[in-house]
Amino acid sequence: MNVRKFVASSARDALRKVKELLGPDAIILSNRAIPGGVEIMAVAASDMEMMVPPAGREAPPRQGGDYTVRLSAPAAAPAPVPPAARPVAREDAPPLAPRPMPQFERSAPPADPAAPPRQAEIVPAEVMDEIRSLRKMVERHLAGFAWGEEARAEPVKTETLRQMLDAGFSPALARELLAELPRELNAAQALGWAKGAADRALLTIGSENDIIDRGGVYALVGPTGVGKTTTTAKLAARCVLRHGASKVALITTDGYRIGAHEQLRIYGRILGVSVFLVKDAEELQQTLASLQHKHMVLIDTMGMSQRDRMVEEQVAMFGHSGVKRLLLLAATGRGDTLDDVVRAYSGPDLAGCILSKVDEAASLATALDVIIRHRLPLHYVSNGQRVPEDLHLPNRVYLLHRAFKDLPESSPHRLGGLEPGLVMASATGAAAAGSRRG
């Protein structure tokens, strides 16, 4: 096993050297602080199998066994020499050449035709699991060490990073936004700089690009309980106020929920707008053909889990009908759940998103983080049940203020000590594992 020693001024530099020389799967055996830096002992992952005897390998027996003797080929016999030509033996004649020693080699055992073929020599799974567990422990230990070192070297940056993690931003986006943070800023300036970076990355639709003025056919899609039917009624009411009831039509594809069609029909009766129920792609195309004279057609859809196979059918149905989709994202959702939703409903006809339940969310960082990372244009923000009052064009200053709001000191969700470093280490490890799988 080839164990290598790496010495650097910081843990981060030492880990970088390990990855460059031994690869991202290198195993950290030990680390310690030395005068002027850090010393890490590591070994390549490919060398770890030398530490464990491969399954199925048998040690040679100590005694016994069948051996064959292989002698060197005898030299050709010299031609007979006549007696008169034979030299007289002398006392100082050179000694005879030593006889060749026999060479032993183990004979191969006879092959058993009934025996199964030998399996490939691999490291047992439980051993690899133990190695991975030890590796995670070492990485977390080094992450805490690196976090403390970085906090001493760049206290403003680490404090801003901690605040963003507390607010609900993902480690990936927080690290990206703070990658070029100037070192000379104080804490307040650094937070303002991070807000500016998030503001530049956030895509929003202003009044000049409001879909109410542009018109078209839009389907509101998303999981159950995000407020699709209420938001459809809000958009219809805004369009009626601006263009009149005769220019708007409503369609529902939700024939499964009890009362879903009737709820939208009630909204249509209040607004003076026609409401149509369609059951499949063929009915949808026929209905849309009859509504070509309308300025805006809004389609309310059935709520489905992002893991439901029917989501793909719904995406295909609207794609073939030339319908643009608006994805509703609940501001109260977890980041990983919202990521799943965006991936499930993505497609070339996805025009953007609407952020709902803003009034119910403690922070908007998680939702805005997903919107920024997936480059989704944000069309509207919904913050209540009133129709049409509780639907607004996005106010960037307000949204970012809510997103960067720091948690109070007494909050149980506030990270402290080495916890931010552990969060960043776990996120980095998960990203590296995902890239290796990809």
The fold of the 207-393 domain, in CATH, is Rossmann fold (3.40.50)
**Separation CA 47–CA 429 (nearest Å):** 21
CA dihedral 318, 319, 321, 326 (to 10 degrees): 50
Q: Where are the domains of the chain?
A: 207-393
Per-residue pLDDT, averaged over 248-276, amounts to 81
DSSP codes of every residue in 155-169: HHHHHHHHHHHHHT-
Do residues 303 and 226 make contact, with C-beta atoms less than 8 angstroms apart? yes
**pLDDT tens digits for range 178-191:** 888 898 889 899 99
Compute CA distances 70 → 73, 105, 280, 298, whole Å: 9, 8, 84, 92
| Token pair for 354 | 């609407």
Q: Helices then strands (H, E): number in the chain? A: 14, 13
User: Is the peptide bond prior to 388 cis by the omega test (within 30 degrees of 0)?
Assistant: yes
The helix (run of H) or strand (run of E) holding residue 147 is: helix 125-153
Do residues 164 and 403 make contact, with C-beta atoms less than 8 angstroms apart? no
For a pLDDT cut of 90, what percent of the chain falls above it?
A: 31
Q: Hey, what amino acid is at 60?
A: P
Compute CA distances 171 → 59, 365, 424, whole Å: 50, 12, 6
Do residues 106 and 67 make contact, with C-beta atoms less than 8 angstroms apart? yes
| Token pair for 172 | 């990936």
Tokens 């055996």 correspond to what residue? Answer: 29
What residues does 328 pair with on adjacent strands?
A: 354
pLDDT for res 405: 85
**pLDDT tens digits for range 377-397:** 999 999 888 887 889 999 999
| Secondary structure class of 117 (helix, strand, coil) | coil
- Number of Cβ within 10 Å of residue 406's Cβ equals 14
**Separation CA 268–CA 252 (nearest Å):** 11
Residue 205: exposure state from Cβ atoms within 10 A (0-12, 13-18, ≥19): middle
Do residues 26 and 19 make contact, with C-beta atoms less than 8 angstroms apart? yes
Do residues 15 and 40 make contact, with C-beta atoms less than 8 angstroms apart? yes
**Separation CA 301–CA 308 (nearest Å):** 14
| Secondary structure class of 270 (helix, strand, coil) | helix
**Separation CA 18–CA 138 (nearest Å):** 14
Per-residue pLDDT, averaged over 24-52, amounts to 76
pLDDT for res 82: 47
pLDDT for res 410: 60
- 434 pLDDT above the threshold of 50: no
E-state strands within 64-214: 67-70, 103-106
- 169 pLDDT above the threshold of 50: yes
**pLDDT tens digits for range 341-362:** 999 888 888 999 999 999 999 8
DSSP codes of every residue in 2-27: -EEEEEESSHHHHHHHHHHHH-TTPE
Do residues 228 and 334 make contact, with C-beta atoms less than 8 angstroms apart? no
Strand duo 350-356 + 248-252: pairing: unpaired
Tell which wins on pLDDT, 143 or 23: 23
| Secondary structure class of 394 (helix, strand, coil) | coil
- pLDDT band of 241, cuts 50, 70, 90: very high
**pLDDT tens digits for range 291-301:** 999 999 999 98
pLDDT for res 140: 57
**pLDDT tens digits for range 280-325:** 888 888 999 999 999 999 999 887 777 777 777 777 888 777 889 9
Q: Report the chain's terminal Cα–Cα distance, integer Å.
A: 29
Output DSSP code: residue 388. T
Tell which wins on pLDDT, 141 or 157: 157
Do residues 310 and 274 make contact, with C-beta atoms less than 8 angstroms apart? no
- pLDDT band of 87, cuts 50, 70, 90: very low
CA-based R_g, the chain, Å: 37
